[in-house]
Structure 1
């Protein structure tokens, strides 16, 4: 049996896809461990029994690590790299090296934004696979921004000099051995990279901790269900948008019942409201199985989980990879895009009516659902990792 060390950033959307893969490898008898700057978060998502090696590094939401809510576009991208991803890599590197020394993995599985995993593996001569938890890097994320792309490569080269093998050449975002893409070409589009090392496994859907009880009896079988969520990392930016959503949903209460996720508590509601249920967190996967539409920020995980269930979307990207993912949704025909900072209740309601009632978007979402499920998910990803370990052991 082989050993697999998962190196992940302290971000729910990047850990969740790896959880199912790690569980599958463990069920097959392999050794599995994690390296992360937030061990408690990994154990909450992967189970209290997970073996986690602690690393230093900034944790989103902690003092000094929070991103100013008004940042957009190139400014937000620069903050993401200079304020979080690059410092995270530098800080994590000693912990990843220590974890590799103790755990002795056969393969390092490095999240695409946890550069320390790739570069430390390179320096130690270990094979490594990329866990690509967003497809934005595959589909022109820096089109029209050549200076930004050059700036990023310069920063990654300098980072390699500090924590990797200075003689190395591989981009730490794309393993030369194996790239596990938790999507499919049907969503990425015609620019999806091809080649033996790129494996499109679709979403990795796994059981998650139940969390607080959800009032399932509240759901009205006679009305369409809509889930509204901005993910776990955008609570600071969503007040105005959520208020517009709330107004649009109340105008449609005769035919729509909605669950709105509001982790910051900017809105107020309770289970006595029969039209819109507002909660700080929800069991997203079971809700998606009952939903007819999703309104979200175009986060890769939320988009893929919605499409896994064949649910069309209204996407309102905020920053980072979200505009690229939103473009993929629209190009695939599985939803409509609205402007996060400017959409009105009327505009949002019109988009919601379209995805709910015009069949084309649901049909496109259904096609992606079939493609996602055929791709194999966590099982397929584990198979590819097993083969990589077997090849490297020869």
Structure 2
């Protein structure tokens, strides 16, 4: 039996893939614990009995600096690092050290954006694995941006001097011991790096807390069904886009029925509407089993969950890694990209018609689904972690 300590940021999309892995490890008799700045969020996703060590750190939606919704490109990346990722690492480091001392793990499993985990592990001489909940960092995203790449390396070097071993040299975004990528080259493309320590395990799907009150009987089996979602972190930016989606969907109400997730309450929900169901939250995984298309922000988890079910996408990236993931969707043929801030209802409707009716898009989505389901998912990730723990003894 080994002990695994999962170090994650307080972000749903980064915790969810690790939940299935943690459950597999626990089912095989291993000790599993978490470190997060939001223990309530972890227990809400991983189960009320999850062992969670709390630590300091900024929690989205809990006050502090709020990212302007119109930030894009390099400015958005800089904001993410300076106002979230680096402060999160500084704040988490003492709690990670305390959790290591109390739990005594054999291996740390560190989300690629929870830099405190790798730097503390390196300083203490412990093996660690990267949980890569997005593949954008490993696809040459910064190849044409040498100044940006250099700036990121400098910030990480400065962070290491504050919370890690100043003489260390590993990149905390990518473990030299084990890199678990929750995707496959069939989606990432030919630029997907290959190395003995890199393992593409596909999506890690696990049971989610039930969404009460979803009216499953509302779904009309005679019409194509579409899910519209902008994920859990974009409620501040989605009002205009959701309104455009609503207009395009209503124009196709004779043949399309849609479920629209609107956590920010940007759209008025009409009681008795048989064409578009607007809800603050939806049971995404079971819904995807019934959907024919997805319109989304190209968040890595949403894209991978849709393609796990063989569902093609219309992607409208907003920020961060989403443009890279959207490019992967388009390049593999499984979807159409539109401009989040400028798309019109006619253009969005045209893109939706394409993914609903173009056999090539559906065939491409099916190819990725086959690759995902053969990759191992949470079961495969757990097996790789067991091997790393065995090698470290």
- Is the pair's TM-score, using the shorter chain for normalization, greater than 0.5? yes
How far, CA to CA, are the matches of 1:218 and 1:16 in structure 2? 28
How far, CA to CA, are the matches of 1:117 and 1:316 in structure 2? 32
- Could you list the runs of 4 or more consecutive aligned residues of structure 1 that deviate by over 4 angstroms after TM superposition? none
TM-score (norm 2): 0.99
1:264 partnered with 2:264:
yes
Shift of 1:66: 2.1
Aligned 1:110-259 pairs, distance under 5 A: 110-259=110-259
How far, CA to CA, are the matches of 1:177 and 1:73 in structure 2? 31
How far, CA to CA, are the matches of 2:285 and 2:229 in structure 1? 12
How far, CA to CA, are the matches of 2:143 and 2:177 in structure 1? 26
Find the counterpart in structure 1 of residue 305 from structure 2. 305
1:26 partnered with 2:26:
yes
Find the counterpart in structure 1 of residue 295 from structure 2. 295
Query: How many pairs are equivalent?
Result: 393
How far, CA to CA, are the matches of 1:66 and 1:288 in structure 2? 31
Q: CA RMSD in A?
A: 0.7
Shift of 1:145: 1.5
Shift of 1:140: 2.1
Find the counterpart in structure 2 of residue 101 from structure 1. 101
1:341 partnered with 2:341:
yes
Shift of 1:211: 2.5
Find the counterpart in structure 2 of residue 351 from structure 1. 351
Shift of 1:141: 1.8
SS at match of 1:236: coil
How far, CA to CA, are the matches of 2:84 and 2:264 in structure 1? 22
How far, CA to CA, are the matches of 1:159 and 1:98 in structure 2? 19
Find the counterpart in structure 2 of residue 381 from structure 1. 381
Shift of 1:69: 1.0
SS at match of 2:174: coil
How far, CA to CA, are the matches of 1:370 and 1:287 in structure 2? 19
Aligned 1:314-333 pairs, distance under 5 A: 314-333=314-333
How far, CA to CA, are the matches of 1:34 and 1:106 in structure 2? 13
Moved more, 91-100 or 138-147: 138-147
Measured against aligned partners, the alpha-carbon deviations of 1:103-162 in whole angstroms (never above 9, x if no partner) come to 000000000000001100111110000000000001122232211110000000011111
Moved more, 260-269 or 62-71: 62-71
How far, CA to CA, are the matches of 1:172 and 1:3 in structure 2? 21
Find the counterpart in structure 1 of residue 55 from structure 2. 55
How far, CA to CA, are the matches of 1:283 and 1:270 in structure 2? 20
How far, CA to CA, are the matches of 2:150 and 2:138 in structure 1? 17
Shift of 1:271: 4.8
Measured against aligned partners, the alpha-carbon deviations of 1:38-73 in whole angstroms (never above 9, x if no partner) come to 000000000000000001000111211321111111
Find the counterpart in structure 2 of residue 364 from structure 1. 364
Measured against aligned partners, the alpha-carbon deviations of 1:177-206 in whole angstroms (never above 9, x if no partner) come to 000000001111111010110000000011
SS at match of 1:237: coil
Shift of 1:90: 0.2
Find the counterpart in structure 2 of residue 68 from structure 1. 68
Shift of 1:368: 0.3
How far, CA to CA, are the matches of 1:281 and 1:382 in structure 2? 30
How far, CA to CA, are the matches of 1:208 and 1:261 in structure 2? 16
Aligned 1:69-84 pairs, distance under 5 A: 69-84=69-84
TM-score (norm 1): 0.99
How far, CA to CA, are the matches of 2:349 and 2:286 in structure 1? 24
SS at match of 2:23: helix
How far, CA to CA, are the matches of 1:320 and 1:65 in structure 2? 17
How far, CA to CA, are the matches of 1:143 and 1:276 in structure 2? 42
Structure 2 vs 1, CA of residues 122 and 265 (structure 1 numbering), >3 Å: closer, same or farther?
Answer: same
